[in-house]
Structure formats: C-alpha cells, structure tokens
A and B are shown apart, each in its own frame.
Chain A
Amino acid sequence: MTTPDTRTRIVAAIAKIAEVEPSRVTGAQRLREDLGMDSLGSLELLSLISEELKIDLEMEDAMDIVTVDDACAFIEKVRAEGERLVPQV
C-alpha cells in the first residue's frame, strides 16, 4: 500500500500533467480515458515522480500502468525492491 505522503506526491504529479485539480484525482481513474494521458503523458508522469521521489524507474515496467492506483502500486513496488538515489555526478 502506498504511504500517504507518497500517494499525495504521485497525485500531485498526475494533477500537474493532466491539468486537473488534485482533489479530482481518484484511484480508479484511468490515466488515458479519465485523465487524458497518452503514452507520452504517462512516461512524463513517471519521469516527474522519479525526480520527485529520487528513485530510478525502469522504462519497460512503466508501460502497463492503466489507473492512478496502478501508478501508486508500481512506485511502491519499486521502493520495496530497494529505494535507490538518482546517480549524482
């Protein structure tokens, strides 16, 4: 289950890309049909989350995300597998 803070940040990122109020984003909403995000938008969302939460997200796993809940579960799964910092140069 996603921690409240993580979920809040994910929802904020979704709201920013979908150009909707965060309060109108619900877990069951589909990124494409309900929030107007195509494949490009979905990747931009994950990129934003990756920067926000300082985690690496693999591209291959990102393509099966359909709903807001899917996005939260995916992020949480990555964190559970071992949170890694974005490489610093």
Chain B
Amino acid sequence: MFPRFEPEVADDDARALLAEVRRFMRTVDAKAADDASGFPPAVLDTARSLGLFALTIPSAHGGLGLSLETACVVIDTIATVDRSLAITIGLHAGLGTRAVVELATSAVQDVWLPRLAAGTCVGAFAATESGAGSDLMAVRTTLAPSGDELVLDGEKSFVTNGGFAGVFTVLARSPALGGERAHSLVLVPADSAGVVVGREEKKLGIRASSTTTVRFDGVRVPRAHVLGTPGRGMDHAHDVLAWGRTLMAAGCVGTVRAALGATLGHVTTRRQFGRTIGSQPASREHVATMASKLCAMDALVRYVARQTDPRMLGALSPIAKVFCSEEAFAVCDQAVQLHGALGFLEPFGVARMLRDCRVTRIFEGANDVLLVRLGLARATAKESWSGAAMGAPSGARDLAARLDGVVDRLRARYGVNLVRHQTILQHLARAEMYLSAACATWSRGFTTFDATLVQLAVEDLLTRAGHHLDAIGPAEAREDRVLAITERLYGTPAADARPANTEVSP
C-alpha cells in the first residue's frame, strides 16, 4: 500500500480501529484463503474480536455504531488485502443487518442485534431466485399467515454468507400482507426447521466467501419477524440495497488501491529495452489513468456515503456501484496487462484481484439494468440536473446544461416510448454518472490526492460524459440494424421485437 493513497477518517476512535484493521490484514493470507475456498477459523475469530461484525450496528445493542462513510473506509481497507473477506464483512454490515437495524421491532432488535454485533450470528440477505435476478418483482418465495405465525416457502440462490449465516433477511411475496403482488421482508433464523442450506458454489472470484442456495420448506416464523411494513418489502429492500451497494463500491476502491500498489512496484523495477517499463510513455499513460480512477472512485464513494437523506442515498448508490465496479475491473485488467505474463499467473496476486472484482458488475443489481433505470430516472425527473450543488468544476456546468437539453429532446421525441430505447437510456445514465463522479472528485479529491491528479481525473470524467452525450444520436441510428442482426442470430423473432423504426436522428 502507498501511504499517500491510504483512506483517512476524521475521528480518533475510527483511526485507531483502522490501525487495528491494517495490523490484522497483514496476517491474512488472501491467496491461501482463495486456494482453499474458505477462511481459517482464526481469521473470522479475529475479525469478531476486533468488532468487524459490529461496524454498523448501534452501540445500544453492542455495536460500534459507525456511519456508513466510516464503515466504507473499513471495508476499503480490508479489500486492499482480501476481497473475499471484505465481501463477507461488508455483506453482513449492509444487506445482512440493515433491515434489522432500521425496520425490526425493538423486541426483535434486542434478541438479534447483540448477536449480530458480536459476530456469533452472521447476517445474510436472501432475495435472488433462479427466475428472479435483476427482476426481483418476479420472486416466487411466499410468506403466508398460519395462525399466529407466518409460513415461508421457496428457494433462494446466490446467498452470500449462506454457508454460515445465523439469520437471513428474506424477500418474499406476501399476498395476504398487502396485495396480490406485494412483498415483505422477514427475518428467518438459520436453525429454523425447514431451512436447508445448499452446497457452496464454485466461483470465478471471491472464492473464500460463501455463496449458497437456501431453501425454505414450510419454515414457520413469528409474525413479529416481518421487518418494516408488511407488503412494502420491495421498497425496504431497495433502501437496504443502497447501503449494500455503497459498501460494495468501497470494496472496489480497496481492490484498486491494491492493484495500483502492485503495479507501481512492478513497473518501477521490471526492465525491458534497457529501461524500466514504467518509464515508457505508454506505461505512464496507463498508470496515471489508473491513479486518476482511484481518485475518482474514492471521492464518489465518500460523497455518496455521506448522504443522510435515504432518497439521495437510494438515487446515488447505484451510480457509485456501477462506476466503481466498472473502474475497478478496468484498473485490475490494466494491472494484469502491465505485469505481462506474470499478471496472468495466480501467485502474483493481480489475477486474483481481477477475478474477485468481476462479480461486482453483476450482483447487487446487474449494471446493464441499473443503467437503464438510472437513465429512466433522469428522463422522468421533474427537476433538472442538480449535480452542480456538489461544487462543479469548470466545464461541468456546460455539460449539465447539455444533459438537460438532451433529456428534453428525448422526451419530446419519444414520450413514454423512450422506455424501449435502452441503449439511449444507458448513454444518458453514463453521462450523468461521469458528470456526478467529476463533481464529487472536484469537491472532495483535493483533501486526499495530489492536485494534478485530481485535475486529470476530472478532465477525463468530463470528456467521458461528453462522449456519451455525443453517442446518443448514432445509437438512435443503429437500433434497427442491431434489431435485425439479433433477430437473425436468435433464429426466431425476439419476444420484444418492435416494428422497424424508420426515423433517423437529425
């Protein structure tokens, strides 16, 4: 790790905790855990003793009561060494416990939060199913009243921490609790009769973390275990996901710190053609870009994690999630490339960093789907882009005005039919994402990073935002050809085929 790139925190207690975490992480062998597809018991025991399962649980229930921002710094620090451990602890701190902290009755909190804080009970979140990934409204697990209790039936897939969780927060359809297609969140102890945990999945990355299916066969839980308002489970799930996505983004920042650190060590020592590879201008370009991405990711996560308004956190966390997952993969990929053949070999570590971050573009909301939703949110927003409130750098205000102008044009042209033009929506979302990252970097980057690096990062982000606005016209013109090509490739008409659109963008 490079001291000038280490995350900082404001107060002394958090600083002391970070120092303990860094000392602990020096003892963690990420490669061994990856090879073994699991942690030695001592690793999780030490994590418990340091309070790493108590990060976001209120102190009244034995937790550390950290803010989301400080919890993000802890996850970032863990991820610089071991992404699997960061995922395990981060999932517990976010999706695994947030609904209990925010929505459970005080009686349920009194029973479960102390155990969750102690880490003797690890939390997990069970929402995804084989037929319901990005489309959570399609979940088929049911929660139905039965006397004084509720009965849960269904199967969940890809449950992180599933193999050793003590309690699950489960998203289920609950027609009797709020409407035919209403959903509820319910807390389910793992030792309940009828809970069946499947085998560990073999994964491309984060191999030391636990990922299982979990089946619920007539599991009975007290009615008091419903979290929040019965029937509003989907809204509650989105609120919880906001924490989960922000913590995940923080983990991406940590991975990038590690990838950049490894790369700097390699390019300043490896010699080819009579000089270090880092002294080559092309390599300098790559390394500077990697550093600028770290700068932007760190600033954006800080900005998002500081949001106290749940609606703002809900609106911004997908932006942080998509941005950081994509930038992390790009940085890790570049790290492998700059390491040459060594980057492709497991012992050197950057290959594992690349494998570990791949899933972040998939889980907690697949990026393609999030981008469509972000684009729609921008297209349907009643107010114009307000990113300038973050403190806009030069050039950002013009881009913001351009973004608003494009939105007006698309609304006028397509009306509600804009929902069918997903590529256009994704370009719109990316323009907003890079603009948001630029403003966050400008307003927060100077406290942590070199001024020249911040300026480079901001320029790059504004350029990328502009490119995506430029790309909307050509994307409109491409749509029919893309439709025709994929129909031929699929062999049969796609289920959502539309009549050919003969309009051409001016």
Contact = CB atoms under 8 A, between A and B. Distances in A.
Given A44-B419, A47-B419, A47-B420, A59 B380 contact: yes
B416 A40 contact: no
Contacts of A39: 373, 376, 380
Nearest to A55: B415
Contact of A35 (B180, B373, B411): B180
Contact of A58 (B137, B179, B372, B411): B411
Interface string A62-77: 1100000000000000
Contact of B182 (A33, A56, A58): A33
How many chain A residues sit at the interface, stated as a range, is 20 to 34
A43 B128 CA distance: 24
Given A40-B376, A47-B420, A89-B502, A58 B231 contact: no
B437 interface: no
Interface in A3-43: 18, 29-30, 32-41, 43
A61 to B, nearest CB: 9
Nearest to A20: B180
Given A57-B416, A89-B503, A40 B181 contact: no
B182 A60 contact: no
A50 interface: yes
A47 B417 contact: yes
Contact of B411 (A33, A38, A59): A59
B418 A59 contact: yes
Interface in B445-469: none
Interface in B116-137: 137
Given A36-B137, A43-B419, A60 B180 contact: no
Given A32-B234, A39-B380, A47-B416, 18 more contacts: A29-B180, A32-B181, A33-B178, A33-B179, A33-B182, A33-B231, A34-B182, A36-B138, A36-B180, A38-B137, A39-B376, A40-B372, A40-B419, A43-B380, A46-B416, A58-B416, A59-B411, A89-B503
Interface of A: 18, 29-30, 32-41, 43-44, 46-47, 50-51, 56-60, 62-63, 87, 89
